[in-house]
């Protein structure tokens, strides 16, 4: 068929590599442990599930287009002004809205070489030019980011902690990055895994947003709150950025169940602390056990680990070996790690099972 006879996307769209999520396993062969999407093994708060169920009984009603209940709950828990909070259909939507709002054709958006793949997608989708900056020891390098800034730079995406490495920047480094950026450049701190971090030199970005006009912090309910299926994200930003993005977003971008469940989830602090304690116990255990069998594990502060394989034991072969035994991990070739797998910290059964399986794999 003649290509000119059908609608054509604008230039650049077909250059975008579509995002590929973590795979699911074949449950027809038995029990499967899905450890490819950084989902919490504890599930959602029972209070959040109940709240969503109550709203479902009135599914014929439109949701509150401003997600006021959810914004009030977030503000209450974090001590913020609700007017500086904007909620979304997952934090991925916010990343796209920010790129759409602040990038025009030819503008540059910066992110680091092992950063979230959605950054590149949203920069390209907005007509911008992706600028990829090298990391140092699998961690964002502030000096390298600042050196990449040009007169065309309009936005910088920083995942802190980063996925898939699990590394983070101490907040003094984040402040140094912000201080070196021109005032018209938007610094987006993607803090999707912030709740898991227990380091004295870490800060999610709230304080910096409160004192600046060009910083945004994005967060998600998909990880520690266990509401990935409902797609809830939020951002804390200066009034000017909130006003601009509100003009671009869809009028009912957060569904009614998500609003109710999110508000209940963030207020259930006991559930959050249980998830933190579980991760604090199993994250170092998994890393230590995998290191003992000869694998390199990038030090992580998230709810996942990046496992590096040796030349004679490839990640591809390990992935096949694990999949056959019902353990689904994440290939991260697209993130610049062709010989590594990312593993979510799962249930005790899953964690012990992966270690046992990889022990057998390394001996094979």
Residue 270 in this model has a pLDDT that exceeds 70: yes
* Distance (Å, whole) CA 151 – CA 201: 32
- In this structure, the number of other CB atoms found within 10 A of the CB of residue 46 comes to 11
Comparing 117 with 27, the larger pLDDT belongs to: 117
Looking at the DSSP bridge assignments, the partners of residue 109 are 130, 155
243-269: average pLDDT: 97
**pLDDT tens digit sequence for 47-97:** 999 999 999 999 999 999 999 999 999 999 999 999 999 999 999 999 999
Query: What is the domain partition of the chain in residue ranges?
Result: 3-43+270-363, 46-268
The continuous run of DSSP H or E covering 259 comes out as helix 256-267
Which CATH entry fits the domain spanning 46-268: 2.40.37.10, 3.40.50.300, 3.40.710.10, 3.40.640.10? Answer: 3.40.640.10
Residue 363 in this model has a pLDDT that exceeds 80: yes
Length of the chain: 364
Q: With bands split at pLDDT 50, 70 and 90, how would you rate the model's confidence at 1?
A: low
Residue 195 in this model has a pLDDT that exceeds 90: yes
Q: What is the pLDDT of residue 201?
A: 97
Residue 2 in this model has a pLDDT that exceeds 70: no
Residue 100 in this model has a pLDDT that exceeds 90: yes
Q: With bands split at pLDDT 50, 70 and 90, how would you rate the model's confidence at 254?
A: very high
Q: What is the pLDDT of residue 20?
A: 75
The continuous run of DSSP H or E covering 263 comes out as helix 256-267
**pLDDT tens digit sequence for 286-311:** 999 999 999 999 999 999 999 999 87
215-239: average pLDDT: 98
Topology of the domain comprising 3-43+270-363: 3.90.1150
Contacts of 311 (CB under 8 A, 6+ apart): 339
**pLDDT tens digit sequence for 38-54:** 999 999 999 999 999 99
Residue 346 in this model has a pLDDT that exceeds 80: yes
Comparing 208 with 11, the larger pLDDT belongs to: 208
Question: In terms of pTM, does the model score above 0.85?
Answer: yes
Q: What is the pLDDT of residue 3?
A: 66
Q: What is the pLDDT of residue 324?
A: 95
272-294: average pLDDT: 98
């Amino acid at each position: 068929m003649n290509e000119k006879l059908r609608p054509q996307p604008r230039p650049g769209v077909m250059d975008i590599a579509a995002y590929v999520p973590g795979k699911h396993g074949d449950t027809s062969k038995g029990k499967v442990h899905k450890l490819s999407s950084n989902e919490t093994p504890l599930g959602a708060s029972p209070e959040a599930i109940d709240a969503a169920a109550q709203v479902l009984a009135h599914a014929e009603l439109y949701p509150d287009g401003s997600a006021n209940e959810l914004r009030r709950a977030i503000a209450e828990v974090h001590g913020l002004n609700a007017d500086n909070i904007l909620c979304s259909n997952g934090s991925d939507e916010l990343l796209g809205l920010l790129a759409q709002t602040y990038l025009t054709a030819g503008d540059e958006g910066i992110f680091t070489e092992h950063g979230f793949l959605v950054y590149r997608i949203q920069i390209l989708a907005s007509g911008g030019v992706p600028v990829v900056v090298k990391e140092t020891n699998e961690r964002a390098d502030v000096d390298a980011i600042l050196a990449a800034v040009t007169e065309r730079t309009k936005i910088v995406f920083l995942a802190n902690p980063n996925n898939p490495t699990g590394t983070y920047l101490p907040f003094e480094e984040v402040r140094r990055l912000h201080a070196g950026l021109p005032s018209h450049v938007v610094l987006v701190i993607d803090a999707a895994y912030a709740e898991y971090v227990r380091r004295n030199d870490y800060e999610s970005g709230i304080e910096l947003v409160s004192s600046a006009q060009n910083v945004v912090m994005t967060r998600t309910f998909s990880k520690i709150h266990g509401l990935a299926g409902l797609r809830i994200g939020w951002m804390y930003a200066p009034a000017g950025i909130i006003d601009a993005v509100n003009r671009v977003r869809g009028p009912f971008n957060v569904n009614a169940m998500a609003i109710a469940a999110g508000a209940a989830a963030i207020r259930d602090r006991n559930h959050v602390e249980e998830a933190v304690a579980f991760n604090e116990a199993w994250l170092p255990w998994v890393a230590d056990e995998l290191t003992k069998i000869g694998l390199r594990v990038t030090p992580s502060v998230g709810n996942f680990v990046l496992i590096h394989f040796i030349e004679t034991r490839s990640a591809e072969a390990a992935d096949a070996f694990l999949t056959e035994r019902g353990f689904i991990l994440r290939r991260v070739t697209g993130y610049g790690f062709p010989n590594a797998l990312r593993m979510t910290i799962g249930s005790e059964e899953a964690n012990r099972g992966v270690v046992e399986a990889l022990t057998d794999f390394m001996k094979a």
